[in-house]
Amino acid sequence: MSNTKVFVFAPADKEGKTYKMLEDLGCVLAFGKASWETPQGDNETQMTLMARDADALIGTSIRSTPITSKVMGGSKDLRIVAKYTIGVDDVDVDAATELGILVTHAPVESNWGGVAEGTVAMMLAILKKTREKTETMKVGRWRDEVLASIYVGSRASDGYPGITIGIVGLGRVGGRFADLLRPWNVRILAYDPYIPKSKFKAHGAQAVDDLSVLLRESDVVSLHPILNKETRHMIGAAELALMKPSAVLINTSRGPVVDEKALVDALEKGAIKAAALDVFEEEPLPAGNPLRQLGNKVLLSPHMVASEAGGSGLGLGIQWATDSVISALKGEVPEHVFNKEAIPKWLERFSGKSLLE
């Protein structure tokens, strides 16, 4: 029997099929607590103990304690940290790379595509005043000029230019969002210093090299970057001050991309018109958070913009992550490696060295 150890730091496979798959290959599994998915508490010490001598870590998002260098350092033979989700902001990727550990994620189309569709829905709900019209009808009122909405696309009939939509981060989600907007004949600006210029053209977006230009010119700013040291609080008081008073900010990426206190202040003072948020700096959103008191200036969603009945969820992501762990334990580079720069060092350590029966 193999002594190969897999630490499931945040279990999510309710049926246990992937766990049995690993066990059938001779792996010994250690399971973290489901409560670790929530933001409360600090479980780093306990997680480090459980990760000791592990060959692989696997799980869903874990907010109480990220996968730190201390957690990963509990095993000199750790090969992989495999996420069931597309996001890896709860893993110290830099530390993993330095240690020669691969980090994989699960960019399942139903999830990133769902985020893009949800972003469109949130944008339209604000621009078309869907909530306000419903509330008016429910109290017995009828048509009112204040309920007039914004026409998004350009019109050939009268020369109306349409609005400008700025996309920050033109990866999978931002790219799909741009693709969904193309039939509207809307002007799309995009800022992403990490992708080739050809990709902007492929998505019908005009590249801007300076974020401030996008913020000044856009009527809607939609955020889709990954969360890292560079993008944390990339939208703060100074950036919000550049936006139009009539502008709308949408964040369906990660909460800490936006300085929430600065956003509340901007909304209260009318520096921007509205915000649509699926993600927050602290999740679940505390009962006393001032965002809850801003009425229709905010559209709030409980970090589930990509959750659709029968079409999304972690199902495929769980299998992808499990397949990645199996590949790594066989001494093979798996698919969906996030920190590709770690591969050369990883190959030196583990290439062709199988731990499976």
Q: Is 258 helix (H, G, I), strand (E, B) or coil?
A: strand
From 63, 216, 303, 349, active-site residue = 303
What is the full DSSP assignment across 49-63? HHTTT-SEEEES---
What is the full DSSP assignment across 331-354? T-PPSSBS-GGGHHHHHHHHTT--
C-alpha–C-alpha distance, residues 305 and 106, integer Å: 17
Between CA 16 and CA 26, with CA 22 as vertex, the angle to 5 degrees is 135
Please confirm, yes or no, whether 283 is among the known catalytic residues. yes
Q: What is the CA radius of gyration of the chain?
A: 22
Query: Is-contact 282 258, C-beta < 8 A?
Result: no
From 98, 283, 308, 332, active-site residue = 283
From 254, 260, 281, 336, active-site residue = 254
* Omega of the bond leading into 284 within 30 degrees of 0 (cis): yes
Query: Is-contact 151 128, C-beta < 8 A?
Result: no
Tokens matching residue 256 = 């800490």
Please confirm, yes or no, whether 254 is among the known catalytic residues. yes
Nearest one of 194, 254, 242 to 218, comparing CA atoms = 242
C-alpha–C-alpha distance, residues 145 and 124, integer Å: 18
C-alpha–C-alpha distance, residues 222 and 192, integer Å: 12
HSE of 1, CA atoms in CB hemisphere, 13 A = 7
C-alpha–C-alpha distance, residues 330 and 323, integer Å: 11
Burial of 199 (0-12, 13-18, 19+ CB in 10 A): middle
Query: Is-contact 256 233, C-beta < 8 A?
Result: yes
* Residues labelled as active-site residues: 254, 283, 303
